[in-house]
Amino acid sequence: MGSNPIISTKNKRLNNLIRRSKNRRRPPEPKLPPIKFNEQIRALEVRVVGAQGENLGVMKTEEAIKEARNQGFDLVEVSGQATPPITKIASHDKYRYQQEKLAKKQKQEQAKKTSELKHIRITPRAGSNDLEVKLKKVRSFIEDGDKVEILLFLKGREKANKDFARGKLDDFLNKVGMPYRVISPIKYAGRGFVVQIVK
C-alpha cells in the first residue's frame, strides 16, 4: 500500500517549518568595546581616580599601574578620549561587569521609552465575547508599557449615528478595568472613532 502523496507533502512542509524555527536565533546582545587596562593603556601619562573615587591627579602610566597593583587592583581606562586619558584603580573584571550591567539597564529603559503602538479594532455591533477578548489584549498591552490605539470601526449606515458609536467606545474604555492615561483623546477619523491610551 503506497503512501499518500498529499500527507507526504504536508509532512515535508511541517518538517521544513520546524527546521527553520530551530535555526532561528535571537540577535546577540550588543557587546561593550574592549576596556583597556594596565599595559594595554598606551598613553605616557594618565589622570588617576582612586579606588574610593578620590582624585589622585596626573601620573606617569607606569607609576599608576604600579600603585594599582600595590593595592591589589588594576589600572582601568575610563575615558580614552580625554587628555590625558582618565583611569581608575579598580578590578578590571568587576568594572567591566558593572559597565555591562549599566548598558543593559539603559537598553531596557530605552526600550520602555520607545514603546510600540498596538492597534485594537472593535465595532458597535460586536458581541460581548468578542469585546472581552479585545479587552484582554488591551490590558496585556498596557501592562507591557505599550501605547494602544483603539479604533471603533464604522461602516455604511453606522456612520450616520455617531453619538451611538461614541457611546460604545466610551463603554469599552470604561471596561478596561485598570489605570491608564489618554494620550490622544477620542476623535472621528473617517473610518470611525479613534483613541490612544497608555499605562
Domain spans of the chain? 38-109, 117-198
pLDDT at 16: 62
pLDDT at 24: 46
What is the rounded radius of gyration, in angstroms, for the C-alpha atoms of the chain? Answer: 30
pLDDT digit string, tens, across residues 112-158: 655 678 999 999 888 889 999 999 999 999 888 889 999 999 988 88
To the nearest 10°, the Cα dihedral for 70, 73, 74, 76? -120
pLDDT at 37: 93
pLDDT digit string, tens, across residues 82-96: 889 999 999 999 999
**pLDDT of 48 strictly over 80:** yes
- 38-109 matches 117-198 in fold: no
Q: Which CATH architecture has domain 38-109?
A: Roll (3.10)
pLDDT digit string, tens, across residues 1-30: 455 554 455 566 666 655 654 454 444 555
Reported as type and span, the H/E element at residue 150 is: strand 147-153
Cα dist from 22 to 9, 14, 18, 28, 58, whole Å: 20, 12, 6, 16, 54
Is domain 117-198 classified as CATH 3.30.420.40? no
The reply to whether omega before 34 is within 30° of 0 (cis) is no
